[in-house]
Structure 1
Amino acid sequence: MAEISTGTNHADYVNRQQAGAQAEDRARRHLENAGLRFIAANMRVRGGEIDLIMKDQHTWVFVEVRYRRDNAFGNAAESVTPRKQRRLLLAAAVWLSRQGGSLDTSACRFDILAITGNRLEWLQNAFGASG
């Protein structure tokens, strides 16, 4: 009897998930080595997620970690679209409100840590509430 494909390759999904987790671990280590303090990871709210929340002295740092195996479809940093930025801003606003703050009253910034292949690029203050 012939094998029928379900159309889903779970091994590829797990490998992508593992690659993403490894990229986030690498990003966290890089940021901690640069002096930032880890606060939380993978904070999810309806409509958005923040990969890493760090503290740089008195500034909250919301970090989007992007991984690309290569540049075939653009580098990792280019994949943070305006729509994704809005979702990150929303998630950060919710998180800050739970801490008794807001985007207007708290010192915060939005960084992108992009990993393309083995190249790591840290874009500090990559975007903000004004876009």
Structure 2
Amino acid sequence: MSDAPDRQASGRSAEAKALQHLQRQGLRLLAQNWSCRRGELDLVMLDGDTVVFVEVRYRRYDAWGGALESVDARKRAKLVSAAEHFLQKESRWSRHPCRFDVIAIRADSNLPTDLNWVRNAFDT
């Protein structure tokens, strides 16, 4: 028996928690679960005049790699490609500065410290 429905519910819950947190910080939602053939963008937010592509990562077990570590080079490339497609389709945002953030959420977390928001996560 597959636990995919449980994972999907956990993912939706994590995204809702991330969205609430970002909105409390003053960001405005532009799109949620925006998808194209290149991939999916969990949250697309506006922070001032900056378009923010937010990848929400939820991990139940750190032993298999933490949520932040799961955004590897391959995943980053897919997100960048999907974001480029978003900006082509939603051209009103194409001249705005952009950044990529990651929100990592630990399992069964209700504490604010269990939500780790990394701004400009792809900058090295």
What TM-score do you get using the length of structure 1 for normalisation? 0.84
Q: Is the 8 A contact 2:51 2:93 kept in 1?
A: no
Name 2:24's counterpart in structure 1.
Answer: 33
Q: Is the 8 A contact 1:109 1:125 kept in 2?
A: yes
Q: Is the 8 A contact 2:42 2:55 kept in 1?
A: yes
Q: Take 1:22 and 1:85, find their aligned partners in 2: how far apart are those partners?
A: 22
State whether structure 2 residue 121 is matched by structure 1 residue 126. yes
Output one character per residue of 1:20-66: Cα deviation in whole Å (capped at 9) or x when no partner: 00000000000001110011111111121100000001000000000
Match of 1:79 among 67, 70, 73: 70
Q: Is the 8 A contact 1:113 1:122 kept in 2?
A: yes
Structure 1: 4+ residue segments shifted above 6 A? none
> Hey, which of these two has a bigger chunk of helix by percent?
2
How far did residue 100 of structure 1 move?
A: 2.0
Counting matched residue pairs gives 119
Name 2:105's counterpart in structure 1.
Answer: 115
5+ unaligned residues in a row in structure 1: which ranges? 1-8
Q: Is the 8 A contact 2:49 2:96 kept in 1?
A: no
Structure index of larger Rg: 1
Within-5 A mapping of 1:46-57: 46-57=37-48
Percentage identity across paired residues of the two chains: 45
How far did residue 73 of structure 1 move?
A: 1.1
Match of 1:125, SS state, is coil
What TM-score do you get using the length of structure 2 for normalisation? 0.89
* Aligned-CA RMSD value: 1.6
